[in-house]
Structure 1
Amino acid sequence: MINPRIKQAIQISISLVIAVWIFWFLYKDIEFESLVNQVLSSNWAWIGLSMLIALGGYWLRGWRWTLLITESEGRKVTTSDAYHAVMVGYLANLLVPRAGEVARCGILNRTNGQSVGHLLGTVIIERTIDLVFMMATIFLAFVVENQLFVSLANQLVNLESLGELALRNLPILIGGGLIFVLVIYFLLQRFRDHGFIQKIQHFLREMYSGIKGISKLKNPAGFWISSIVIWVIYFLTMYTVSLGFQSTANLSPGEVLLVMVMGSIGMIAPVQGGIGTFHALVAFILIQLGISEQDGKIFAAIIHGTQVILVLAGGFVSWLVMMQKQVGNKPNKA
């Protein structure tokens, strides 16, 4: 049996190789001199503003998270605590895909005594709400740029054949889902007295307590408004960067919205920090909007690169702050 750490290392290595290969394939024909010239000729006042806006978005994410965390689960989590934990999470995502959610929960567990199960429950709420808003943003892009959206969707996926395939295999999909649920139920019943199963059940109860937190919010208006503003910030981050490039400065807000949607989809891919997939989808949509292939790829590289720099710098500072707080919270030895 493969050691879990070795298995994890293999998975991380495979995702990194895939990301690097996609990135290399996209940029192998781009001359480094062209990239440097584009960087030097860009309006860095707009790009700098985009980074400040993104940083404000990270802080707002931290504040929104505090609305979900129950104080009785541990020491009060301030907005500063949550912000630093969020930044450490983003930093972890650059190293291991999807590790950020666990990392930020682990940080608050060590510094504020919050249970990991409860925190993961709140993170699930966040991710669920973000998914809802992402779907709403995609729908908004569809409404604003209807013809272009449909044309792009058909180029990426044959929607008609995909729907027909799902309908033809609907009984198999439903039957497979039911069998999966029954197998899980049987295993839980058969081994319910096993220590490992009891730990899982305890963990799930803690997670459920976090999920229930959305019905007990003291500031529901703040939660929903901040959720909307976070996605507005995503748009403003992309829009301000587009103003910094001569080739993209004339894009309409609706077109930038489409670029943002494609970039968001690219970030979902299970690779470190969306490397490669983000660049491919953003460059693809820009090319369809009439931007040259080279300019589209360089735009994607610069907007992603500036955000990575922001996460690296901010995440490292936040990690130092939280590590110092963790040391400060350790009990003194007699």
Structure 2
Amino acid sequence: MKNSIRKWLTVLIPLLIGIGIIYYQFSTLTSEEIEKIKISFEKANYYYILLSLVIACLGYWSRAYRWKYALNHLGYQTKFFNNFFTVAVSYLVNLTVPRSGEISRAALLKKYEDVPFDKAFGTIVAERIVDLLIFLFFVCIGVISQYELIYKFLISKNVSLVTFLYFIIGAVILGVIFLLIWIYAEWKIIKLLKEKLSGLVEGMTTIFKMKDKWKYIFHSFFIWFSYLTMFYVAVFALPETSEISFDIVIMGFIFGSLAVGFSNGGLGAYPFSIALIFSLYGIANDIGTAFGWLVWTSQTILAVVLGLVSYLLLPIFNRNK
């Protein structure tokens, strides 16, 4: 009973957050602004939206190809189409419960390639760590290039630089304490966790030992390059955003990526964050909202269609297994 309630809550809470953000966003818009958003959707150049989806597919392909190197290092020669299909399904599952796609991805690979779940999941966790580091690289570029604007924004929200630095220092200290406990503590629960996560750790450390680590790193950067390019290409779909500078694109991309984790696939949160960031650069709220929903809707449709097709194709391509 408790597990059932917990599962429902993991779905409903992010969904309710997304619905709440949508309600708030559109309740603050005037009827004239809502009408302009509709017009923006009607007049958008969908050639650029289609091109952004093609680039997104390259990201899917590169993610599936990168996974091959980690799995090969562990001694598992998986078929590329199984890697690709499971990646596509994971994007679809992430639309229901944030980050649950990683579990389904490892489970499907276990089913169709007989790769142990813990080791497959470990390689996925390793990917997420690498992805996080690359994303932080983008964040650093954005913060450095837009320091003055961010500082003024924090001041306007009564957040001092000292408070922000205290938060960062506190987070680093807690992280170091946790790391020291994990490495040196002889507590029974820590030993038990280490034992249970042995396969997970093996998968996570593959990147440092694998033969093709530089190819792995190349694909890691290519994946994020495709994400950024996908977002950049989409700005040309609306006349009002087609001439914005690249630094605005970087900031929109960063905050849009952060917003995805707040609700189911970024429902509500993604368009809201894009509109908020664009407004800091003087872009009208209705235009920022229209652009955010245009990108989010197209990417969500791609994830749903590609995920469903991949899920149906998995048993067909593996019928001789």
Indicate which of 296, 307, 310 corresponds to 1:318: 310
Quote the residue 1:125 is aligned against. 126
Looking at structure 2, the residues matched to 30 and 103 of structure 1 have their Cα atoms a distance apart, in angstroms, of 42
- Structure 1 or 2, whichever has the larger Rg, is 1
Say if 1:165 and 1:79 are closer, same or farther in 2 by CA, change over 3 A. Answer: closer
Do the aligned partners of 1:94 and 1:273 also contact (CA within 8 Å) in 2? yes
Partner deviation per Cα, 1:8-32 (whole Å, 9 max, x = no partner): 1123212211111112211233656
Structure 2: how far apart are the matches of 1:223 and 1:207?
Answer: 19
Q: Contact 1:71–1:77 (CA<8 Å) still a contact in 2? A: no
* Structure 1 residue 135: Cα displacement: 0.8
Residue equivalent to 2:65: 63
Structure 1: gaps spanning 5 or more residues: 330-334
Counterpart in the other structure of 2:21: 22
Q: Which residue of 2 aligns with 1:206?
A: 199
Is the aligned partner of 1:252 residue 2:236? Answer: no
User: CA–CA distance in 2 between the matches of 1:207 and 1:222?
Assistant: 22
Segment of structure 1 superposing worse, 45-54 or 319-328: 319-328
Equivalence map 1:183-332=2 (5 Å): 186-188=187-189, 203-269=196-262, 271-329=263-321
Is 1:162 equivalent to 2:164 in the alignment?
yes
Query: Residue in 2 aligned with 1:38?
Result: 40
- Tell me by how many angstroms 1:92 deviates: 0.3
The answer to whether the Cα contact below 8 Å between 2:52 and 2:230 also exists between their aligned partners in 1 is yes
Q: Whole-Å Cα distance in 1 between the matches of residues 168 and 212 of structure 2? A: 41
**Structure 2 CA distance for aligned equivalents of residues 130 and 72 of structure 1:** 20
Tell me, in whole angstroms, the C-alpha distance in 1 between the residues paired with 2:175 and 2:109: 40
Partner of 2:115: 114
Q: Structure 2 vs 1, CA of residues 78 and 147 (structure 1 numbering), >3 Å: closer, same or farther?
A: farther
Conserved? CA contact 2:74–2:203, under 8 Å: no
- Aligned partner of residue 246 in structure 1, secondary structure: coil
Aligned amino acid, residue 35 of structure 1:
I
AA of the residue aligned to 1:11 = T
Encode CA deviations 1:299-330: one digit per residue, 9 max, x unaligned: 1111001000000011111111113345542x
Task: Give the 3 Å change call, closer, same or farther, for CA 178–204 of structure 1 in structure 2.
Answer: closer
The CA distance in 2 between the partners of 1:276 and 1:185, in whole Å, is 45
- 1:101 corresponds to: 102
2:271–2:289 contact (8 Å) kept in structure 1: yes
What's the CA shift for 1:211?
Answer: 1.7
Q: Closer, same or farther in 2 for the Cα pair 1:250/1:175, shift >3 Å?
A: closer
Which amino acid letter does the alignment assign opposite residue 217 of structure 1? M
Q: CA RMSD in A?
A: 2.9
Deviation at 1:273, TM superposition (A): 0.4
CA displacement at 1:185 relative to structure 2: 5.1
Q: Which stretch of structure 1 is more off in the superposition, 258-267 or 19-28?
A: 19-28
Give the whole-Å Cα distance in 2 for the aligned partners of 1:218 and 1:260: 33
Counterpart residue number, 2:5: 6
Whether the 8 Å CA contact 1:73–1:113 is kept in 2: the answer is no
Q: Give me the identity figure in percent.
A: 23
Q: How far apart in 2 are the matches of 1:87 and 1:175?
A: 35
CA-CA distance at 1:6 after TM superposition:
2.0
Amino acid at match of 2:122: G
Whole-Å separation in 1 of the counterparts to 2:86 and 2:175: 39
Q: Which runs of 5+ in 2 are unaligned?
A: none
Contact 2:95 2:265 survives alignment (8 Å): yes
Give TM-score, length-normalised by structure 1: 0.85
* TM-score for both structures, normalised by structure 2: 0.88
Any conservation in 2 of the 1:111–1:325 contact (CA below 8 Å)? Answer: no
2:243 partner amino acid: N
Displacement of 1:152 in angstroms is 4.0
